[in-house]
């Protein structure tokens, strides 16, 4: 029998008391933590949630790029990278998730991707690899190609998807609109698009938007902790797609005919600086980057070159402004010596002529002597006044400011006729705007506005900016008068650019600049930069056109100006013939009504009453879509294309339609389009009201308005 001593009893009582105290203390602490949710100053709820909550990036959608009338120039899409699983442990139940039949897989894939069957089979037959890819042939596959491969239901063939950019008009204004590149976030593994060049790069921060964060407590989204993504803003350019299409078509022909190293052309509004059309060759396809290796630079603002005699218009303006122009005085043309070195006229047989004639016949001697009268300091001051040797700050990245050799009298004389000084086309357009605008020099610009994609709120707006007043109104008018002679005189160098037969008097100046190589100027017309600047119409210029073609290797006409005119004339006439309408349209804007859900007749009646033209895809049922969104601003007489729910599409009467309108209808109606000419439709091979089937072929002929 066990005997419990007195000491043991005391110890037991003490142990019980201590235990009770500890339990009470723990209980108090427990209730304290439960009430305050604090441990040593740390928030227990936050710590627990931090261990339980997962954050996921919510990517912003990149903004779109539109032309001035709302036509999409850059949009978003998805591309796919193809891969094959070789790991035989990858199964879903008994279903294999790896490539089972390599021969069949190689055979079927070779019909779709740009890779031979044998090479695909070799890739699929590699040992000790769990997964393989197919190089460039399997990357950036379109939605259509992705679907074709998916439909094959090949075991072990799968894809990764990533955001991509699509450019519906392909090479159109490619260097100006630009392109993007994909960048992968090392932390999240997500791919994001970033502007590589052009407007895509210049406005990248606004186009990109801001990614959001989605927080999850377990599998439940935590709204309070999440931060919504702000989608990128939409950019509206000043480009007019109708004029741009004409320019692109004619540029292709000129580039093919003359085989030059490069061409650049730009048409801008003289009074505002808005660039309506601009292009260059070589260009590239921003969807594939094909052709980009031929020319990375945007020739509007980069690759500055010696302008040649188009600079004489600026020299003339400076001389008139400073009282150093004597149009009726005479001089001996042909050659002259400056510092013992010879300056030559292209035509050395002109003899003794007046300075006025020297301008219209483009005498280098006339302008070397004029520069000497002005003096080097005065001439240099006016070059700066006209904003040469500095960026136009157009907004495009990497814009060059040009350069000059101006240390010696010969160099100073050379710059007066456009040698020894380098400029960009945009600088020339800006400088000549002072001559067009009675002394006010305006900055060229490309962005009409940038607005929030979700709300339409304008966050940035392009506007006319007067950057200088280098000459008086009377001087500008006097220069334009002299430039008329360059066009109208029988020996004028710009006579090929005459538009009087179409009812327009224009003012122009041509240029032929020798190309320098290894410190010396090369001889021959194939080693020159041929350019022209035109102000139209002369009395109150609405447009400035500038074009330069570098080192043409083929001459298909008697003079290069004849060939250049084949691009200039249709483009300028298209702009001039629609200018009254365009001005009227700017003051006559209408709000697009919502016709979705209405009958065809009701929708047509509603739109016609708003002053809009209508074309319909389908012939029965309610309207299910319209080409312009409800409440969007449209120009009076603009074409709206409606899509009906049912019925066959009937061929509309396209007479008077622009090429852009015909292209949009063909795309929406799934028909094949061919065209000849430029401007507006004059005839069509399928008569109006004739039924069109899917992928029908139609051909239209276009012509400039007289």
State the distance between the two ends of the chain, measured CA to CA, in whole angstroms: 131
| φ, ψ (nearest 5 deg) of residue 115 | -155, 140
Single out the catalytic residue among 174, 241, 279, 309: 309
What 3-state class would DSSP assign to 508? strand
Alpha-carbon torsion (459, 462, 463, 469), positive or negative: positive
Peptide bond into 570 cis (omega under 30): no
Torsion of CA 263, 269, 270, 275, to 10 degrees: -50
Alpha-carbon torsion (7, 12, 13, 15), positive or negative: positive
> Pick from 487, 447, 497, 443: which is nearest to 466 by CA?
443
Q: Is 309 among the catalytic positions?
A: yes
| Three-state SS sequence of 381-435 | HHHHHCCCCCCCCCCCCCCCCCEECCCCHHHHHHHHCCCCEEECHHHHHHHHHHH
Helix H or strand E encompassing 667 = helix 659-669
Q: Could you tell me if 279 and 106 are in contact, meaning their C-beta atoms sit under 8 angstroms apart?
A: no
- 4-35 b/e with 16+ CB inside 10 Å = b? eeeeeeeeeeeeeeeeeeeeeeeeeeeeeeee
Distances (CA, A) of 320 to 48, 365, 370, 381: 81, 17, 10, 14
| Residue 433 CB burial class (10 angstroms; 0-12, 13-18, ≥19) | buried
- Over its C-alpha atoms, the chain yields an Rg (Å, rounded) of 35
> Pick from 308, 423, 426, 408: which is nearest to 367 by CA?
308
Q: Could you tell me if 435 and 479 are in contact, meaning their C-beta atoms sit under 8 angstroms apart?
A: yes
Distances (CA, A) of 481 to 427, 474, 493, 501: 22, 11, 15, 19
> Distance from CA of residue 702 to its chain's centroid?
25
What 3-state class would DSSP assign to 240? coil
| Residue 163 CB burial class (10 angstroms; 0-12, 13-18, ≥19) | middle
| φ, ψ (nearest 5 deg) of residue 262 | -170, 155
Cα gap 138→188, rounded to integer Å: 23
β-pair partners for 54: 216
Cα gap 687→418, rounded to integer Å: 54
Cα gap 416→513, rounded to integer Å: 12
**Tally of helices (H runs) and strands (E runs) in the chain:** 20, 41
Name the residues annotated as catalytic. 309
């Amino acid at each position: 029998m066990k005997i419990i001593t007195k000491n043991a009893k005391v110890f037991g009582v003490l142990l019980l008391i201590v235990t009770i105290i500890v339990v009470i203390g723990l209980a108090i602490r427990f209730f304290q933590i439960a009430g305050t949710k604090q441990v040593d100053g740390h928030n227990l709820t936050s710590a627990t949630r931090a261990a339980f909550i997962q954050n996921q990036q919510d990517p912003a959608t990149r903004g779109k790029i539109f032309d001035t009338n709302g036509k999409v120039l850059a949009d978003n899409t998805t591309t796919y990278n193809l891969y094959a699983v070789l790991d035989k442990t990858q199964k879903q139940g008994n279903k294999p998730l790896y490539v089972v039949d390599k021969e069949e897989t190689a055979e079927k894939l070779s019909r779709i991707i740009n890779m031979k069957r044998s090479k695909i089979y070799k890739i699929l037959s590699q040992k000790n690899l769990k997964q393989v890819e197919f190089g460039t042939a399997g990357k950036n596959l379109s939605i259509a190609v992705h679907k074709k491969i998916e439909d094959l239901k090949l075991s072990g063939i799968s894809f990764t998807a990533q955001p991509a950019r699509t450019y519906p008009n392909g090479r159109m204004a490619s260097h100006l609109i630009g392109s993007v590149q994909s960048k992968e976030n090392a932390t999240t593994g997500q791919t994001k698009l970033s502007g590589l060049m052009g407007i895509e790069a210049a406005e990248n921060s606004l186009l990109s938007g801001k990614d959001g964060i989605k927080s999850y407590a377990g599998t439940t989204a935590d709204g309070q902790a999440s931060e919504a993504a702000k989608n990128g803003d939409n950019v509206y350019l000043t480009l007019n797609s109708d004029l741009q299409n004409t320019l692109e078509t004619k540029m292709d022909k000129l580039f093919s005919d003359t085989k030059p190293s490069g061409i650049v052309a730009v048409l801008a509004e003289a009074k505002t600086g808005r660039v309506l059309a601009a292009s260059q060759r070589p260009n590239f396809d921003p969807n594939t980057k094909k052709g980009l290796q031929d020319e990375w630079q945007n020739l509007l603002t980069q690759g500055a070159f010696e302008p040649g005699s188009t600079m004489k218009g600026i020299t003339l303006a400076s001389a008139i402004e400073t009282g150093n122009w004597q149009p009726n005085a005479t001089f001996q043309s042909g050659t002259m010596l400056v510092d013992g070195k010879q300056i030559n006229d292209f035509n050395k047989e002109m003899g003794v002529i007046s300075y006025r004639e020297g301008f219209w016949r483009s005498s280098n001697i006339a302008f070397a002597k004029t520069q000497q009268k002005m003096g080097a300091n005065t001439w240099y001051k006016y070059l700066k006044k006209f904003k040469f040797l500095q960026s136009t700050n157009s907004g495009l990245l990497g814009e060059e400011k040009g350069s000059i050799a101006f240390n010696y009298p010969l160099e100073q004389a050379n710059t007066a006729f456009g040698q020894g000084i380098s400029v960009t086309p945009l600088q020339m357009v800006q400088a000549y705007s002072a001559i067009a605008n009675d002394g006010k020099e305006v900055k060229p610009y490309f962005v009409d506005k940038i607005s929030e994609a979700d709300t339409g709120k304008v966050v940035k707006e392009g506007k006319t900016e007067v950057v200088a007043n280098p000459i008086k109104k009377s001087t500008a008018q006097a220069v334009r008068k002299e430039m008329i002679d360059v066009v109208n005189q029988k020996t004028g160098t710009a006579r090929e650019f005459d538009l009087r037969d179409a009812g327009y008097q224009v003012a122009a100046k041509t240029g032929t600049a020798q190309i320098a190589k290894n410190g010396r100027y090369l001889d021959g017309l194939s080693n020159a930069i041929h350019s022209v600047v035109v102000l139209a119409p002369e009395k109150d210029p609405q447009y400035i056109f500038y074009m330069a073609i570098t080192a043409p290797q083929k001459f298909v006409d008697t003079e290069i100006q004849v060939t250049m005119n084949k691009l200039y004339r249709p483009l300028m006439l298209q702009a001039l013939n629609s200018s009254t309408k365009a001005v009227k349209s700017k003051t006559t804007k209408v709000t697009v009504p919502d016709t979705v859900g209405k009958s065809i007749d009701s929708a047509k009646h509603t739109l016609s009453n708003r002053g809009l033209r209508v074309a319909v895809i389908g012939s029965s049922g309610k309207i299910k879509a319209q080409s312009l969104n409800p409440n969007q601003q449209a120009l009076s007489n603009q074409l709206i294309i409606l899509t009906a729910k049912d019925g066959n599409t009937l061929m509309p009467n396209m007479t008077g339609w622009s090429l852009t309108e015909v292209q949009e209808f063909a795309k929406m109606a799934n028909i094949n389009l061919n065209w000849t000419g430029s401007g507006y439709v004059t005839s069509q091979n399928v008569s109006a009201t004739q039924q069109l089937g899917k992928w029908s072929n139609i051909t239209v002929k276009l012509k400039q308005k007289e």
